[in-house]
Structure 1
Amino acid sequence: MAYATAVAGKPVSRPLAQAEHTVLASPLVSPVAVPPVDRSAMDGYAVRGPGPWRLVGHVAATSRTPPELAEGEACSITTGAAVPAGATSVVRDEDARLTGQLLHGPGEPGRHIRRAGEECAAGEQLLPAGVLVDPPVLGVAASVGLNRLTVVPQPRVAAIVTGDELVHRGPSGPGRVRDAIGPMLPGLITRAGAVALPVTHLPDDRTALVDALLAADGELILVSGSSASGPADHLRPALSAIGAQLIIDGVACRPGHPQALARFADGRLVVGLPGNPFAALAAFLTLGVAVIRRMRGLSLPALTVAPVPGGLPCHPRSTRLVHVRVTAQGAVPLGHGGSAMLRGVAAADALAVVDPGPAAAIAARLLPLDPGARPWGV
């Protein structure tokens, strides 16, 4: 439901230098053939016909009109240079032997020549829409002469962390809880492929939360610490005061069940994260990542299923999210699994998604803890 609620961003045109981490909004189509002419794939000698050959000149990579070779002629050539008309092959430097102006070496027809259009023809689709723009994609776009790409931009995500008891320096103590969620969220947002805006810290105050929600600049707003139903949990009343539509009001999973999803009239989305660190992480990896992927124009990948040696206990009504280490034998659960604990999850690779049921699960789907990683086996 979270994925279906979100909407992909409006396509924009970006110069290549600003397009990394976006997603192609339209297919990448080459406007030209690559290479546009036959080119040498090696430093060596362009030759015509069987050897030996008489050396008659040189072709540099910058030469625009190389001379035509006659039968039995050769010219030295650099990698990437246009092959002279009439050339039948290129002899590599390491295979060439020169006796005065006479060249000897293997001259297998077509060898070490990149033919015109070998990589692509003009008008050929190289990549479909929906592909993540990474450095190789930028390189391909540049190689076919493109200066800009039409892409779905990264969504901007604002984060609000609430709590009178939270402190941001030093250890926890009576009446003091060190904030672990605020330092965690920017990296999670970035790894999910979005732009992390500065984290806002608020006391447990409904008016302050309403003001912060209205002022938030992101297309997605994460609110941590106000999503449950206690006296200090103001997210739902604040959303009601703003007129937001509450779409998800709690999820049957442990940890993370108080999470929420709401939509403002202007289309911005709010994800409510629990105040306990592990529960907040679990909620982000489920609701938050699903929303961000849809906003980026990406699909949700299927999760790999792995065996669980010894099994994992099921909850009778809720899905369990258990942090595990992925080994050759399968998913091995780690200790320290309370909703307020991050020690165990910091050493884990994934969350094992354990469906509700009456017995122990002997296999589970694996949700990567790194929201930018591909599921195992994909």
Structure 2
Amino acid sequence: MNMPWTLARQTARDAAKPLDAAELALPDALGLALASAVRALTSQPTCDTSAMDGYAVSGPGPWTVVGRVAAGDPVPALSPGAGEAFGVATGAPVPDGSDAVVPVELCSLDESLLIADAVPGKHIRRRGEDWSAGDELIPAGSLISPAVLGLAAAAGHDTLLAHRRPRVAVIVTGDELLHTGPPRPGRVRDAIGPMLPGLLTRADLIGTTHLRDDPSALTDALKQDQADVLVTCGATSVGPADHLRAVLTDLDAEILVSGVACRPGHPMLLAVLPDGRCVVGLPGNPLAALAAVLTLLHPLLDTLGGHTARPPVTARLGDVNAHPRDTRLIPVTRSGGTAVPAGHDRPGSLWGAALADALAVVPPGHQYGEVELLA
């Protein structure tokens, strides 16, 4: 019996544990997931600083300008209430004893005498105003984006502890497949192999093997041990050339998902080999294969890579002839908060998916309302 789509997706998330982590220089951590939270090593700002180009003043005006402070200078001091001022640049330390910073455009200067209206505390960024030393800035499991790298550097870090990317090997099977040139009677171009690298942005693709429909060759390919995940294309159904289930049984694999109640893609498969490597079986029809990638492969790779599950993206979708029992995955385009079917959604064609922004998850019996979008 085919597994419900939501359960199959959760099974894929739970099928493995995050891979090992290493301390990496900031540039090398880009695109990985944090294995531990980023915490501030110092307070930000580290001292009271000026938010404007202008004058730091003490006491009531007018003030006598007694010096100037640039960003990076040591912190000088003003005599409290003595009517003194320091010229300050944006980001410069504010002298001890300052009551306010007056923007330069609001000031008039007569030789060394400053005349302006000051608002107590105005335009001073106080020490620790952004964060204090020890504060958690980014939680573990977060994607290390360029902004995260910049924030980590600002908080004092030179390295980050990050999970490594999963290594993926792809095995494309089928006597009928061509890998160059136009299709011809009885032969079709492989559309899944060229599609997959772009769907593996959170993994390292270490190789693609093309096989005929030969169970012994498939057995040998599944024994290669450099990959954390083996992705097979084709051979997942029950026809005479569909050898994957029998091969996995001979290899003593535990089959966690053997068919999913969704259209397209119901013959998709997820298994774990005795040594812990995972096998994701994609159906041979291209749109069905894409559905299997989004249902099983992406959640599995996210777990292995240590990524926290992201909140679902949703949109409103009208009546699309929902199936009474199975989940439908249909290509859609987005317009504001509404999803519109892209059409051309036959399992063997990627035409609709190529026009679409996402696949909409249409639950059984859906008529109108919010649905999840997978991209």
Among 332, 349, 355, the alignment partner of 2:340 is 332
Q: Which runs of 5+ in 2 are unaligned?
A: 1-10
Residue pair 1:157, 1:219 contacting (<8 A) in 2 also: yes
1:344 maps to 2:352: yes
Separation of aligned partners in 1, 2:312 and 2:45? 40
What is the letter of the counterpart of residue 183 of structure 2?
Answer: S
Aligned to 2:290: 281
Among 175, 180, 184, the alignment partner of 2:191 is 180
Q: 1:156 to 1:105 in 2, by over 3 A?
A: farther
1:20 maps to 2:30: yes
Aligned to 1:196: 205
What is the letter of the counterpart of residue 129 of structure 1?
Answer: A
Aligned to 1:245: 254
1:216 Cα deviation from its structure 2 partner: 5.0
Task: Compare 274-283 and 330-339 and name the one that shifted more.
Answer: 330-339
TM-score (norm 1): 0.88
Aligned to 1:291: 300
Residue pair 2:229, 2:280 contacting (<8 A) in 1 also: yes
Separation of aligned partners in 1, 2:79 and 2:194? 67
1:235 maps to 2:244: yes
What is the letter of the counterpart of residue 342 of structure 1?
Answer: L
Residue pair 1:323, 1:348 contacting (<8 A) in 2 also: yes
1:124 maps to 2:135: yes
What is the CA deviation profile of residues 144-176 of structure 1, one whole-angstrom value per residue up to 9, with x for unaligned ones?
Answer: 211122233332222222223322332211233
Residue pair 1:303, 1:365 contacting (<8 A) in 2 also: no
Among 34, 38, 48, the alignment partner of 1:38 is 48
Separation of aligned partners in 2, 1:147 and 1:305? 37
Separation of aligned partners in 2, 1:313 and 1:302? 26
Which structure's relative contact order is higher, taking Cα pairs within 8 Å and 6+ residues apart? 2
What is the letter of the counterpart of residue 331 of structure 1?
Answer: A
Among 154, 167, 172, the alignment partner of 1:161 is 172
SS at match of 1:157: strand
What is the CA deviation profile of residues 50-69 of structure 1, one whole-angstrom value per residue up to 9, with x for unaligned ones?
Answer: 22222222212121243445
Separation of aligned partners in 2, 1:48 and 1:89? 7
What is the letter of the counterpart of residue 332 of structure 1?
Answer: V
Separation of aligned partners in 1, 2:207 and 2:66? 66
Separation of aligned partners in 2, 1:288 and 1:223? 11
Q: C-alpha root-mean-square deviation of aligned residues, in Å?
A: 2.2
Aligned to 2:372: 366
Separation of aligned partners in 2, 1:303 and 1:143? 30
SS at match of 2:142: coil
Give identity over the alignment, percent. Answer: 48
Separation of aligned partners in 2, 1:299 and 1:84? 44
Q: 1:123 to 1:162 in 2, by over 3 A?
A: same
What is the letter of the counterpart of residue 153 of structure 1?
Answer: R
Separation of aligned partners in 2, 1:143 and 1:75? 27
SS at match of 2:14: helix
1:306 Cα deviation from its structure 2 partner: 4.4
Task: Compare 110-119 and 22-31 and name the one that shifted more.
Answer: 22-31
Separation of aligned partners in 2, 1:113 and 1:58? 16
What is the CA deviation profile of residues 39-93 of structure 1, one whole-angstrom value per residue up to 9, with x for unaligned ones?
Answer: 1122222222222222222212121243445622222222222111112222223
SS at match of 1:8: coil
Separation of aligned partners in 2, 1:251 and 1:106? 71
1:272 Cα deviation from its structure 2 partner: 0.2
Separation of aligned partners in 2, 1:48 and 1:328? 53
1:353 Cα deviation from its structure 2 partner: 2.2
Among 93, 103, 110, the alignment partner of 1:92 is 103
What is the CA deviation profile of residues 305-340 of structure 1, one whole-angstrom value per residue up to 9, with x for unaligned ones?
Answer: 54433x122334322222222335833223211101
1:114 Cα deviation from its structure 2 partner: 1.2
1:16 Cα deviation from its structure 2 partner: 1.5
Separation of aligned partners in 2, 1:340 and 1:36? 60
Separation of aligned partners in 1, 2:84 and 2:262? 76
1:302 Cα deviation from its structure 2 partner: 5.3
TM-score (norm 2): 0.89
1:261 Cα deviation from its structure 2 partner: 0.5
Among 65, 68, 79, the alignment partner of 1:58 is 68
Separation of aligned partners in 1, 2:77 and 2:178? 75
SS at match of 2:170: strand
Aligned to 2:5: none
1:268 maps to 2:274: no
Aligned to 1:134: 145
What is the letter of the counterpart of residue 288 of structure 2?
Answer: A
**Length, aligned pairs only:** 364
SS at match of 1:172: coil
Among 193, 218, 224, the alignment partner of 1:209 is 218
Task: Compare 137-146 and 156-165 and name the one that shifted more.
Answer: 156-165
What is the letter of the counterpart of residue 172 of structure 2?
Answer: V
What is the letter of the counterpart of residue 71 of structure 2?
Answer: A
Q: Which runs of 5+ in 1 are unaligned?
A: 371-378
What is the letter of the counterpart of residue 118 of structure 1?
Answer: E
Q: 1:230 to 1:364 in 2, by over 3 A?
A: farther
Separation of aligned partners in 2, 1:85 and 1:363? 60
Separation of aligned partners in 2, 1:244 and 1:329? 43
What is the letter of the counterpart of residue 242 of structure 2?
Answer: D
SS at match of 1:208: helix
1:286 Cα deviation from its structure 2 partner: 0.4
Task: Compare 254-263 and 294-303 and name the one that shifted more.
Answer: 294-303
